[in-house]
């Protein structure tokens, strides 16, 4: 059975043989795009090559790219613990053509790799294409011998990719694996597509057009390819499971968490261990790439993930800080492929430990307050926004942590009420400031917050959050 590390090498070796330059993963903090919170796909480091702004001495590349999807357009934070196939941190395997090969070769390479190199059972595979992309459908028939019913035509943006409002864009084709009817879920494009039975493993994007401001498109002179395959999903199916968390790498992290807490990895604490294993990876890799916990921006997203993991550790009964104890297990698994992890190990451990020690001081009391609030409410009532705000403001509970806690009980938070309480506090702070003689600059922060909304992923109010830690 191939390990996750084997699967990565097979991919890179295969594409090197097909004339691709093997390029290192870029950091999780994108160097070339200040508008993007974290690197969330393999193509991010190549954006300027696709737009033609930059040229390199290779026209084909392959990478294993570190990705985080925990904020912004792609946010899988809420999926963790609930689906078998989503992580906040994952590795995306990708091959890229910069004005070199196009649809024909991209599909042929993908098919050869998954059916010959990985040996995936071709009868379990099916694909989607953009509904008007007859060309891709024809290539699939030719290359894979698929009948029409295994080439699903999708009319939505799920199968049409755009870099932004203008610039390169085009149809995509996605490869799905059917894990069998013992799992819930239906084929892509149908009503039950969100299940874990039909799992998307690989997305091939055909950068075919350029989109202009007036909405018109023309064929690109240099058509390009951008693909992304989730390594954990491939590991799952090659290891005979539909569950990413049952694969060698994730399982070893779950076992580390079970051992450190003296709990059963598959018992009542099952979900907690999964969340902890996932969040251990995203937080450690973010710290290794220079992000530190903070009250706004990227650092706040990191803090939110950390605190969320810490609540799950607490629920497992961990009385001492847990997360930092698990870092060696992660370094053992991933340190060879990502040496930055080993280099930053001491920093990661110290940061996690310090953060967990501090948060523990208010976590207990916050959870008690949460329980008390719920006791006074009817069974299915949402938690009032004021209570959620108090948890945030006094106990350092990011809103999504409270939501995560309530979701286990099938309950929601009144987010409008939360926003209103936040706005009210800001108004008060602003009023208090009015007479201080401060320059108008002091209010800029609030204006930004208002434009974006207080619960926007860019972070909460620096001032109000500062006091808690
Ligand atoms: P999904 O529909 O399953 O959320 P996606 O369409 O959002 O996936 P893409 O943006 O197409 O994903 O990314 C390319 C590949 O990366 C996917 O085909 C999948 O294998 C993998 N992938 C995407 N998101 C995650 C995630 N959160 N965790 C693990 N793998 C992921
Ligand atoms: Mg997604
Ligand atoms: Mg998808
Ligand atoms: Mg996709």
The 10s digit of each residue's pLDDT in 277-306 is 999 999 999 999 999 999 999 999 999 999
Over the stretch 374-385, which tens digit does the pLDDT of each residue have? 998 998 899 999
Rounded to whole angstroms, the Cα distance separating 345 from 353 reads 12
pLDDT value for 73:
78
Closest-lying ligand 1 atom to the alpha carbon of residue 174:
18
Closest-lying ligand 1 atom to the alpha carbon of residue 200:
18
Say how many Å lie between the CA of residue 83 and the centre of ligand 4: 16
Rounded to whole angstroms, the Cα distance separating 198 from 79 reads 16
Nearest to 166 by CA among 85, 238, 220: 220
Residues with CB under 5 A from ligand 3 (ion): 200
Tokens in use for 261?
Answer: 């807490």
The closest ligand to the CA of 69 turns out to be: 1
Averaged pLDDT, 40-67: 95
Closest-lying ligand 1 atom to the alpha carbon of residue 244:
29
Report whether pLDDT(452) > 60.
no
Q: Which helix (H) or strand (E) holds 152?
A: strand 151-154
Pocket perturbation via mutation, ligand 1, pick of 186, 230, 244 by most ligand atoms within 8 A of CB: 230
Q: Does the model's ipTM exceed the 0.85 cut?
A: yes
Mention every residue, 6+ apart, whose C-beta is less than 8 A from residue 229. 11, 92, 93, 94, 201, 202, 203
Confidence of residue 434 (pLDDT cuts 50, 70, 90): low
Rounded to whole angstroms, the Cα distance separating 422 from 301 reads 18
Over the stretch 71-104, which tens digit does the pLDDT of each residue have? 877 899 999 989 999 999 999 999 999 999 999 9
Over the stretch 15-33, which tens digit does the pLDDT of each residue have? 999 999 999 999 999 987 8
Report whether pLDDT(463) > 70.
no
Report whether pLDDT(467) > 60.
no
Which pTM value belongs to this model? 0.90
- DSSP tag of 166: S
Rounded to whole angstroms, the Cα distance separating 211 from 58 reads 25
Mention every residue, 6+ apart, whose C-beta is less than 8 A from residue 71. 37, 38, 77, 301, 457
232 with 89: CB under 8 angstroms? no
217 with 234: CB under 8 angstroms? no
Complete domains list, the chain, with CATH: 4-243 (3.30.930.10), 247-466 (no CATH)
Report whether pLDDT(469) > 60.
no
Least reliable range by pLDDT among 34-38, 328-332, 401-405: 34-38
Tokens in use for 314?
Answer: 């607490």
Pocket perturbation via mutation, ligand 1, pick of 179, 203, 242 by most ligand atoms within 8 A of CB: 203
225-to-40, 49, 110, 238, 440 alpha-carbon distances in Å: 17, 11, 12, 26, 49
Instruction: Using a pLDDT cut of 70, give the percent of the chain over it.
Output: 92
Mention every residue, 6+ apart, whose C-beta is less than 8 A from residue 262. none
When comparing pLDDT for 465 and 401, which is higher? 401
Report whether pLDDT(130) > 70.
yes
Say how many Å lie between the CA of residue 296 and the centre of ligand 4: 29
Nearest to 426 by CA among 457, 464, 466: 464
| Residues within 6 Å of ligand 1 by CB | 69, 76, 85-87, 90, 92, 200-203, 228-230, 232-233
């Amino acid at each position: 059975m191939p390990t996750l590390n084997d699967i990565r090498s097979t991919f890179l070796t295969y594409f090197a043989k097909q004339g691709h330059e093997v390029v290192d993963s870029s950091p999780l903090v994108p160097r070339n795009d200040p508008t993007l919170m974290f690197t969330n796909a393999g193509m991010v480091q190549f954006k300027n090559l696709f737009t033609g702004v930059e040229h390199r001495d290779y026209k084909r590349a392959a990478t294993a790219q570190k990705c985080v999807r925990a904020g912004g357009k792609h946010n899988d934070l809420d999926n963790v613990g609930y689906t078998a196939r989503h992580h906040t941190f994952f590795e995306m395997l990708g091959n890229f053509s910069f004005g070199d090969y196009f649809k024909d070769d991209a599909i042929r390479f993908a098919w050869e790799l998954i059916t010959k190199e990985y040996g995936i059972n071709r009868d379990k595979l099916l694909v989607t294409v953009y509904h008007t992309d007859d060309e891709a459908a024809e290539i699939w028939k030719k290359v894979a011998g698929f009948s029409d019913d295994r080439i699903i035509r999708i009319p939505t943006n799920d199968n049409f990719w755009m870099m932004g409002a203008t610039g390169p864009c085009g149809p995509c084709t996605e490869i799905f694996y059917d894990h069998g009817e013992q799992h819930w879920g239906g084929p892509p494009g149908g009503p039950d597509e969100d299940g874990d039975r039909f799992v998307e493993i690989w997305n091939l994007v055909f950068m075919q057009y350029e989109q202009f401001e007036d909405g018109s498109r023309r064929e690109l002179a240099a058509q390009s390819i951008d693909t992304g395959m989730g390594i954990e999903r491939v590991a799952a199916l090659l290891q005979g499971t539909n569950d990413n968390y049952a694969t060698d790498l994730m399982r070893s992290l779950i076992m580390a968490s079970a051992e450190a807490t003296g709990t059963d990895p598959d018992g009542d604490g099952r979900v907690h261990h999964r969340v902890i294993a996932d969040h251990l990876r995203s937080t450690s890799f973010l710290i290794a790439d220079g992000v530190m916990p903070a009250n706004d921006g990227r650092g706040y997203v990191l803090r939110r993930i950390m605190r969320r993991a810490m609540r799950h550790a607490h629920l497992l009964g961990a009385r001492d800080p847990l997360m930092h104890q698990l870092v060696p297990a992660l370094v053992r698994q991933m340190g060879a492929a990502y040496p930055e992890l080993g280099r930053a190990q001491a920093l990661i451990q110290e940061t996690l430990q310090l953060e967990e020690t501090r948060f523990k001081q208010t976590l207990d009391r916050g959870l008690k307050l949460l329980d008390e609030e719920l006791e006074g409410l009817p069974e299915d009532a949402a938690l009032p926004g004021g209570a959620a705000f108090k948890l945030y403001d006094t106990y350092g509970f990011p809103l999504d942590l409270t939501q995560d806690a309530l979701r286990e009980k099938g309950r929601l938070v009144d987010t409008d009420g939360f926003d209103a309480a936040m706005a009210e506090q800001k108004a008060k702070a602003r009023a208090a400031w009015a007479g201080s003689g401060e320059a108008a600059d002091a209010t800029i922060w609030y204006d930004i917050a208002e434009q974006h909304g207080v619960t926007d992923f860019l972070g909460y109010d620096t001032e109000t959050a500062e006091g808690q830690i």
